[in-house]
Chain A
Amino acid sequence: MRGLQISLNQTQKIRFDRALEKLESLSSKSNSNAAVTVADSIPVNFEDGVLKGHGTSERDGEIVATLCGVVERVNKLVYVRTLRARYKPETGDIIVGRVIEVAPKRWRLEINYSQDAVLMLSSMNLPDGIQRRRTAVDELNMRSIFEENDVICAEVRGFQHDGNLQLQARSQKYGKLERGQLLTIPPYLVKRRKQHFHHLEKYGIDLVLGCNGFIWVGEHVEAKDNMVEDQMSKSEQQSSVSSLNEQEHNYIPLETRQSICRTANAVRVLSVLGFNISVEVITQTVELSSSLNIDIHDMLGAEFYVLVAEAEADRRSLLTKKK
């Protein structure tokens, strides 16, 4: 991790360094010969024509790396992939984004990428669930679906001809995320998996691991079936908006809130330590903290960082032993 700025006392430092050494020894067994630094020459079979991709350049007849990373070869293409790269969207990625603009027939979302993503009105389910052509009235009512600064989870549909990133949110599980908090972590820590939506039943919370590094931790919300609950939801919405004073009764119950904060702190600790974020690691960290009766705020203290590093080292050594 870059510059862990936490004051550790002597014993903690020793334990921490030991855990890090153990992790390093476990990981270096994998293909370290593929790793290059700047100005390393890349071994290439010159008999086939070679395409020089990103991160390479030709020097004195040799192919030399211009980035620090891992060499990847795809047929004749040779390129260097950096380890801490900016988020690179691929079709089918689940991402969490924030609306920054409501434009004609589309919403613009910020997704921690070099440009903003676009969610078309036609790629979004209408509140009443009917499949129909979007009319001008729908366009005027876009704000009732998503407003500025709303947090939304969606799926990457693809790139347009002009390079814009398009999203779609057609399924029930996509849509606005309320009643929770959004965390930002470096995108390279979230690997692509089969599942990015997790419902932790034990704690009653929803966890969405966006591939772009935005993680949503919130109260569990049942995926509503729009067709059935059309009438009921409309009346509910009206009453909830009018009763601003009764918002206190709508606050998330304390138990759920504690789980949300514990999970969020676990994600923060793991991201600072630079460990890959996945549901298993997060739940293990949360269980570790509750089993040791560590106060939620103390999870961000020095002692817990050391404990998490040690636990991760133990977990990885178990995994390699199993193999």
Chain B
Amino acid sequence: MVGLSLGEKHFIQGGIAQDLRSDGRKRLSYRPIYVETGVIPQANGSARVKMGATEVIASVKAELGKPTSLHPDKGKVAIFVDCSPTAAPAFELFGSASAERDWLLVAAEYKTLEAVSSSTASEGSGYGCEYTAPFKMCFSFSIQSNKADGHTRGPANGGFNNAAHAPCLCFRATTYGILPDVSIWSLSAPQASNSRTRSVNPISCHMESICSTSKQTAICCSIFISYGRGGEELSAELSTSLQRCLLGGKSGAGAGIDLSSLSVVEGKMCWDLYIDGLVVCSDGNLLDALGAAIKAALTNTGIPRVQVAAGATGDEQPEVDISDEEFLQFDTSGVPVIITLTKVGKHYIVDATAEEESQMSSAISVSVNRHGHICGMTKRGGAGLDPSVILDMISVAKHVSEQLIIKLDSEIAAAEAREEE
């Protein structure tokens, strides 16, 4: 996300204080929500949700598995979220793909390949050599920014200036032939770049490895340059928040999704649901959009009908016949929606855009179900909140959830109707 000037920040805060945000919304109104179901035909259920510019896709896959011994009558649900690198510049990923665009491998020098304790003479040159173990290989390379204007602009605010975003250099070596028994790669710290000159100096790095192998190996190396932490942290945070909001605690109490409906044979077989979320475009309020997408995907999910062969005894796995044609719709009347309340100044807003989120002091995400019960809660943000404020925010979230559930149900129904056409 680009930075905001002082005047723009003042404008946003003023808008929230006066109940008229930048796009004319009130504090407690959502952006237009657009739902599309059945976007991934190979999955059991899928949905795409757009809230303004934020776009997420959720998919549900069902597989037969064995229930845990603690809960033999319940199925399992796993939720994972992935932030696509196209979602926002901050998510620009690890990997040589983006690295090639931004960083140019200036020189890769294969320095030495020498035997540490040589019992036979070294022969040959280059990568494929014959040595007896152990040998030491030094590889040095340097990278330089490839941007047109010659200046680093890494994720968020610039290349090496921000230590959290300094690229970390990973080295991956594949050995064809016999894998070395012990290979320890030690990376000597890259030269810190001068923040003034920023990127014009190439960064060089020196790596050593001591491998002990006695056979011929050809070492093929690829250099992986990764940028900061990217979207990994955010993905992990979203996954845990969703699990907390939808699945309840470890004992399974308070789960928004009814797990006992996923059981096939008690103690022996159950359905495992794998729910995957993908953030395609990020403009704030990811948690709400993912919650809505998961609810829509679950409504769209069809679990194949399973017929259990009678007469299974003891510990044997019962024979099952999975029908390809008959599907049972998953019951989603109990699935909660997630409402995120962002506190900016003295007021709370719902459905914050990325600009508004940059001004937040703290945010609370509450998942509320149809009956007005709270299924889970997460608090984000560095500022502390008074307990009375939290209770107030929860009551506001409950009030907003009534309209959101109605709106979301009608949008999902419209999407399913559109899909059938």
**A contacts, CB < 8 Å to B:** 5-7, 98, 100-101, 108, 110, 114-116, 147-151, 176-182, 218, 247-248, 250-252, 254, 257-258, 261-262, 264-265, 268, 295-297, 299-302
- 5 A-B interface contacts by CB (under 8 A): A149-B4, A180-B11, A251-B17, A300-B31, A302-B32
Q: Which of B3, B22, B151 contacts A264 (CB under 8 A)?
A: B22
Interface centre among B18, B148, B414 (most CB of A within 10 A): B18
B157's nearest neighbour on chain A, judged by CB, is A148
What is the minimal beta-carbon distance from B4 to any residue of chain A, in angstroms? 6
Known A6-B32, A297-B25; judge A248-B5 contact (CB<8 A). Answer: no
Interface centre among B4, B29, B31 (most CB of A within 10 A): B4
Hey, which chain B residues are within 8 Å of A101, CB to CB? 151
What is the minimal beta-carbon distance from B254 to any residue of chain A, in angstroms? 34
Task: Please determine whether A115 and B18 come into contact, CB atoms closer than 8 angstroms.
Answer: no
Known A7-B414, A248-B17; judge A297-B11 contact (CB<8 A). Answer: no
Hey, which chain A residues are within 8 Å of B3, CB to CB? 98, 148-149
Instruction: Say what secondary structure dominates the interface of chain A.
Output: mixed
Task: Please determine whether A5 and B14 come into contact, CB atoms closer than 8 angstroms.
Answer: no
Q: Which of A100, A252, A262, A268 contacts B14 (CB under 8 A)?
A: A252
Task: Please determine whether B24 and A151 come into contact, CB atoms closer than 8 angstroms.
Answer: no
Task: Please determine whether B22 and A261 come into contact, CB atoms closer than 8 angstroms.
Answer: yes
Task: Please determine whether B18 and A116 come into contact, CB atoms closer than 8 angstroms.
Answer: no
Task: Please determine whether B50 and A5 come into contact, CB atoms closer than 8 angstroms.
Answer: yes
B331 is an interface residue with CB less than 8 A from chain A: no
Hey, which chain A residues are within 8 Å of B141, CB to CB? none
Q: Which of B7, B23, B50, B151 contacts A300 (CB under 8 A)?
A: B23
B14's nearest neighbour on chain A, judged by CB, is A251
Hey, which chain A residues are within 8 Å of B10, CB to CB? 178-179, 247, 250-251
Task: Please determine whether A115 and B149 come into contact, CB atoms closer than 8 angstroms.
Answer: yes
Could you tell me the distance between the alpha carbons of A231 and B121 in the complex, rounded to whole angstroms?
A: 83
**B contacts, CB < 8 Å to A:** 2-8, 10-11, 13-15, 17-18, 20-26, 29, 31-32, 34, 50, 148-149, 151, 153, 414
Q: Which of A7, A248, A295 contacts B24 (CB under 8 A)?
A: A295
Hey, which chain B residues are within 8 Å of A257, CB to CB? 14-15, 18, 20
Pairs of residues from A and B, 4 with the lowest C-beta to C-beta distance, nearest first: A178-B7, A296-B24, A149-B3, A251-B14
What is the minimal beta-carbon distance from A250 to any residue of chain B, in angstroms? 8
Known A261-B20, A264-B23, A300-B32; judge A179-B414 contact (CB<8 A). Answer: no
Task: Please determine whether A265 and B148 come into contact, CB atoms closer than 8 angstroms.
Answer: no
Could you tell me the distance between the alpha carbons of A295 and B21 in the complex, rounded to whole angstroms?
A: 13
What is the minimal beta-carbon distance from A55 to any residue of chain B, in angstroms? 21
Could you tell me the distance between the alpha carbons of A300 and B52 in the complex, rounded to whole angstroms?
A: 10
What is the minimal beta-carbon distance from B10 to any residue of chain A, in angstroms? 7
Hey, which chain A residues are within 8 Å of B148, CB to CB? 114-115
A150's nearest neighbour on chain B, judged by CB, is B5
Hey, which chain A residues are within 8 Å of B7, CB to CB? 150-151, 176-180, 218
Task: Please determine whether A5 and B34 come into contact, CB atoms closer than 8 angstroms.
Answer: yes
B52's nearest neighbour on chain A, judged by CB, is A300
Q: Which of B5, B23, B149 contacts A116 (CB under 8 A)?
A: B149
Hey, which chain B residues are within 8 Å of A301, CB to CB? 32
A152's nearest neighbour on chain B, judged by CB, is B5
Interface centre among B5, B22, B32, B153 (most CB of A within 10 A): B5
Task: Please determine whether A6 and B34 come into contact, CB atoms closer than 8 angstroms.
Answer: yes
Q: Which of A5, A98, A247, A295 contacts B5 (CB under 8 A)?
A: A98
Task: Please determine whether B23 and A252 come into contact, CB atoms closer than 8 angstroms.
Answer: no
What is the minimal beta-carbon distance from A288 to any residue of chain B, in angstroms? 15
